[in-house]
Amino acid sequence: MNLKKFYNKKKILITGHTGFKGSWLVHWLSRYNVQIMGISLRYESKLSLFKFISKKKLIDKRFDIANYKKLEKNVLKFKPDIVYHLAAQSLVKESVINPLKTFTTNIIGTANVLSCLNKLEKKTISVIVTSDKCYENLKLLRGYSEDDRLGGHDPYSASKASAEIVFKSYFNSILKKNKKIRIATARAGNVIGGGDWSLNRLVPDCIRAWSLNNEVKIRNPNSTRPWQHVLEPLSGYITLSYYLKKNKNINGASFNFGPKISEVATVKKVLQISQKYWKGSKFKFYREKFFKEDPLLRLNSIKAQKILKWKKILSLEKTLQLTMAWYNDFYKNKIRVSDLLNRDINYFLNLKKKILND
């Protein structure tokens, strides 16, 4: 996969560019000869990865994607070649507190993006990011495949399932007829990596407490999740956009990007491994009464492996080792964030080359 050639002189639109995945993606794609437009909300938390990344190739736009007029004006003016739609209210707990905002951003926002793409008079490749939580959780051990039933017990999951349904209907009745558009959705699991300071996520909660030498209180130790390093789904989105250009048969499809079923781990296991890489880390468990999360979530990514030749590269141990090293070097050794990001991206790409010969 020659990414240098694929991205050469391309205009890339990234919605949600100030978020955790968006910041890593902007940093990664800025290594190529590209121009990037990012669209996100104005608000950023005090400590956010975006503050530290290079913005040399970025046009930084801040408004709500639910504002169709503004979105259309900016997208039609920029005329992107490639689009990664990541903007979302991405937290389950927040979705229970603020369901309307979650539905508006994740469902209407996605419909707005699709509408703008259809108006672009230009060849465009787009990846619409939803989630592993879009599946109706039947506590299946075999892992969810792309054709499994959609559903959601909480507003976040329901909003992502709805975004998938909006996408399918839009594609089948409108976008399919538009010969300029190649588009697909991507469903990935929980991501881990340096620079996430979101609330109510396992690793960021640990780091917030451990960096102050505090004990972290953790809910649901036996919940399992398809944990993976943030670079894994990002490489999935990149690979998907690359193959969308080459293979028209995947236009309108959906792809899972997750670890193997055998690699899915409990919260407790993640904590035990993390402890090895953060000196003096302590945790204790409590029972969450406010809201219930689905305890078991597994993804089947065989379709991405077969059609896109995508493969998860890093073991859970290596993922947590890299992540803890990132935060250690940030807090204790005061190493520059762009150096930390480059170090992990280089390591990941070299390993990928060795494993996949690509």
Ligand X SMILES: NC(=O)c1ccc[n+]([C@@H]2O[C@H](COP(=O)([O-])OP(=O)(O)OC[C@H]3O[C@@H](n4cnc5c(N)ncnc54)[C@H](O)[C@@H]3O)[C@@H](O)[C@H]2O)c1
Which residues of the chain form contacts with ligand X (CB under 6 A)?
Answer: 16-22, 39-41, 64-66, 86-90, 105, 109, 129, 131-132, 188, 190-191, 198
Q: Which residue is nearest to ligand X (CB)?
A: 19
124 phi/psi in degrees, rounded to 5: -135, 140
Cβ–Cβ under 8 Å, residues 259 and 103: no
Report how far apart, in Å, the C-alpha atoms of 274 and of each of 175, 240, 285, 333, 337 are: 45, 31, 15, 18, 21
Distance CA 49, CA 337 (A): 8
**Rounded Cα gap, residues 21 and 267, in angstroms:** 21
Closest CA to 116 of 78, 86, 163: 78
How near is the Cβ of 16 to ligand X at its closest, in Å? 3
25 vs 332 by CB, closer to ligand X: 25
Q: For residues 314 and 79, give the distance between their C-alpha atoms in angstroms, rounded to a whole number.
A: 35
**Beta carbon of residue 213, minimum distance to ligand X (angstroms, whole number):** 26
Q: What is the nearest approach in angstroms of ligand X to the Cβ of residue 116? A: 13
Q: What is the DSSP string of 139-181?
A: --SS-B-TTSPB--SSHHHHHHHHHHHHHHHHHHHTGGG-TTE
The nearest distance, CB 279 to ligand X, in angstroms, is 26
The residue (of 131 and 235) whose beta carbon lies closer to ligand X is 131
- How near is the Cβ of 276 to ligand X at its closest, in Å? 22
Which residue lies nearer to ligand X by CB, 140 or 178? 140
**Half-sphere exposure of residue 283: CA atoms within 13 angstroms, side-chain side:** 25
Please give the Cα distance from 166 to 185 (Å, whole number). 11
Placement of tokens 């990596």 in the chain = 193
Closest approach, Cβ 214 to ligand X, in A, equals: 23
Which one, 151 or 178, has the nearer CB to ligand X?
Answer: 151
Of 191 and 316, nearer to ligand X (C-beta) is: 191
Q: Which residue's CB is nearer to ligand X, number 3 or number 297?
A: 297
β-bridge mates for residue 10, sequence order: 34
Give Cβ neighbours of residue 7 (< 8 Å, ≥ 6 apart).
29, 32, 33, 34, 82
Nearer to ligand X, 64 or 232 (CB): 64
Please report how close the Cβ of residue 126 comes to ligand X at its closest, in angstroms. 14
Rounded CA-CA distance 109/118 in Å is: 15
Reported as type and span, the H/E element at residue 271 is helix 267-277
CB of 353 to ligand X, least distance (A): 26
Shortest Cβ distance from residue 257 to ligand X (Å)? 9
Whether residue 15 contacts residue 39, with contact meaning beta carbons closer than 8 Å, is answered with yes
Nearest residue (CB) to ligand X, 9 versus 269 = 269
Closer residue to ligand X in complex, CB, 37/350: 37
Q: Considering just the CA atoms, what is the radius of gyration of the chain in Å?
A: 19
